[in-house]
Copies of this chain bind each other. A is one copy, B any other.
Amino acid sequence: METQNLVGYKYKNGGKTFQAIDPSSGNELPGEFQSATLADVDATLDLAEKASDVYRYIDKKTKANFLRSIADEINALGEELIERAMAESGLPQARLQGERGRTTGQLCMFADLVEEGSWVEAVIDSALPERKPAPRPDIRKMLIPVGPAVVFGASNFPLAFSVAGGDTASALAAGCPVIVKAHPAHPGTSALVASAIKKAAEKHNMPEGVFSILYDDGYTVGQALVKHPKTRIVTFTGSYKGGMALVKLAQQRQEPIPVFAEMGSVNPVIILPDALDNRYQQIAEQYAASITLGAGQFCTNPGLLIAIKSDGLKKFKNALGEAIAKISSTTMLTPGICKNYANLSEEMLEEQGVSIINRGIVNGEKANQAQPLVATVSASSFLVNPKLKDEVFGPYSLLIEADYEVQVQQILNVLPGQLTASIVSDETDLPKHKSLIQNLAKIAGRVIMNNVPTGVEVVPSMQHGGPFPATSDGRFTSVGTGAIKRFVRPVSWQNWAHDLLPDELKDGNPLEIWRLVDNKWTK
């Protein structure tokens, strides 16, 4: 495992060092990682900008094979990767094996997307030389990569949203070089994955600078990367505070750039009356599992449950309490996250009208344990207390008890933008609550019926990104094939010499992609 910064193809000595911590014990893990210097930041961006001018023109087959090779090299790291990620994150083996599969799956999905090629949205309008009063020129448009992307690794997905995660895969697929700012909670996992990308890049003779990784356990390197004039785009998954700090930095640049920050969400779940009456036990068990999955450390964790008072709701509350009581605590990602969770969840209990339903079991043998907690509050208390809308990152959920349906809509009306909004309903509920159900799409990027919000599918139809403040820009997704659209902008070529057009726009469709030609979709 290489603990130095990777600047293009070269490992370089950095400045002060830091070590990863095993959150399950609180002990330091081997490996002295070197924080990057500002000279490293400059060097990576110089290389990335030069690489950009080469990489953007590399043919789609080679680019796809490069992505697939990254997946292969990650698999080739074997158990060393899983063990290091377990030690650094406290996440269990099965979860990390699954996450590795998702990571390599994403790389291969983007490889397929690039190889197929239609994602560039090619549009051709032929010349009309006879048009009066003036002839119409030939115009052709497609998406082109914007240039070097800075990807911040996420603490809660050490594989799938870190060094070779969805952001990196989609940026490389779009044709943008990537500089990863490794998350300081899992530098060893990051270093292993970075070595896999380096091998794949070398194997396919990618230009030096197509990928670099820098370490820092503070904010200096990240801020310098966002402010650097050669950085064209930034992606981030983490807290509202962290995300907005980057957004502001990017807005203050001489040339502002987009920051795609995924910043959190309470993911409201409305449970309708007939569903509660008919299957309160099943819903309670399903949600107890969703609330506590991965120690509740998912952006799509259901932090608010909303229901109308009824006998069914009483039974559900009991069942939820019983289900939570049976669930053991698990290790959180970092001591800091664990401390925040403990503080925030206890603070919630002190708010006016909030009372505890139940807590889970504490595992006393390990450190940094998140004890599951569910609480309850009346809708009227919730509506007058903005603090109760805040996300508590961890295995916590607040059940809001409404007096009638109008209050449920009032709660939705005061919620800020969300990644997801869910409805639990039986067939007989649907006709009675149509407007409520329809309105869910107004506050969220993904609306879900009778499924838990945790569990994000990596498919073209996935929207992972909601109205502010769930994400900084809800018009884009960070999961699924659509994620590639964050790294591009459209360019039109007018009356251009045919031989100098990109292949995607040439006559005869040499790349065999879907194109809109004179207003007809053809391939």
Partner of A461, one of B124, B258, B465, B489: B124
Min Cβ gap A270→B in Å is 14
CB-defined contacts of A187 to chain B, threshold 8 Å: none
Copies in the assembly, this chain: 2
Residue interface bits A476-503, CB-to-B below 8 A is 1, else 0: 0100001000001111111111011000
CB-defined contacts of A445 to chain B, threshold 8 Å? 489-492
A382 → B minimal CB distance (Å): 20
> Are B449 and A496 within 8 A (Cβ)?
yes
Asked whether A383 is an interface residue with its Cβ less than 8 Å from the other chain, the reply is no
Assess the B496–A125 pair: CB atoms within 8 A: no
List, in ascending order, chain B residues with CB within 8 A of A467's CB.
255, 489
A362 within 8 A of B: no
Given contacts A137-B451, A448-B494, A494-B448, contact A475 B489 (CB under 8 A): yes
The answer to the question of A460 belonging to the interface, with a C-beta cut-off of 8 Å to chain B, is yes
Contact of A446 among B144, B256, B491, B516 (CB under 8 A): B491
Judging by beta carbons under 8 Å apart, are A141 and B492 in contact? Answer: no
A139: Cβ under 8 A from any B Cβ: yes
Of the listed stretches A278-286, A327-335, A436-444, name the one at the interface; the rest are far from the partner chain.
A436-444
- Rounded to whole Å, the gap between the CB of A35 and the closest CB of chain B is 31
- A263 smallest CB distance to B (angstroms): 12
The complex places the Cα of A516 from the Cα of B121 at a distance, in Å, of: 13
**A460/B494 in contact, CB under 8 A:** no
The answer to whether A139 touches B461, judged by C-beta atoms less than 8 angstroms apart, is yes
A205 interfacial contact with B, CB 8 Å: no
Query: At the interface, yes or no: A341 with Cβ under 8 Å from chain B?
Result: no
Min CB distance, A342 to chain B, in Å? 29
Asked whether A238 is an interface residue with its Cβ less than 8 Å from the other chain, the reply is: no
A window 246-283: CB within 8 A of B? 251, 255-256, 258
Q: How far is the CB of A489 from chain B (nearest CB, A)?
A: 5
Is A434 located at the chain interface by the 8 A CB criterion? Answer: yes
A417 touches B123 (CB 8 A): no
Instruction: Give complex CA distance A446, B493 in Å.
Output: 6
C-alpha spacing A156/B463, complex, angstroms = 39
Contacts of A465 in B (CB 8 A): 490
A416:B448 contact, CB within 8 angstroms: no
Asked if A459 is at the interface (CB within 8 A of a chain B CB), the reply is yes
Question: Is there contact, CB below 8 Å, between A448 and B521?
Answer: no
Checking B139, B448, B491, B521 against A459 with a beta-carbon cut-off of 8 angstroms, the contacting residue is B139
The reply to whether A497 and B459 form a contact with Cβ atoms under 8 Å apart is no
> What B residues does A462 contact at CB under 8 A?
139, 141, 492
The 8 Å CB contact of A449, one of B447, B449, B450, B497, is B497
Measured between beta carbons, the chain B residues less than 8 angstroms from A490 are 445, 463, 465, 475, 477, 482
Of listed A140, A490, A514, residue having the most chain B CB within 10 A: A490
24 A-B pairs within 8 Å (CB atoms) are namely A118-B521, A123-B461, A136-B457, A137-B457, A139-B459, A139-B462, A140-B461, A255-B416, A255-B469, A256-B468, A258-B475, A425-B497, A430-B497, A437-B500, A438-B500, A441-B491, A446-B492, A446-B493, A448-B494, A449-B494, A460-B516, A467-B489, A474-B489, A475-B488
| Besides the known contacts A139-B462, A447-B491, 12 further A-B residue pairs in the complex with CB atoms under 8 A apart | A123-B461, A136-B459, A137-B451, A255-B468, A441-B493, A445-B490, A446-B492, A447-B493, A447-B496, A449-B496, A451-B494, A462-B492
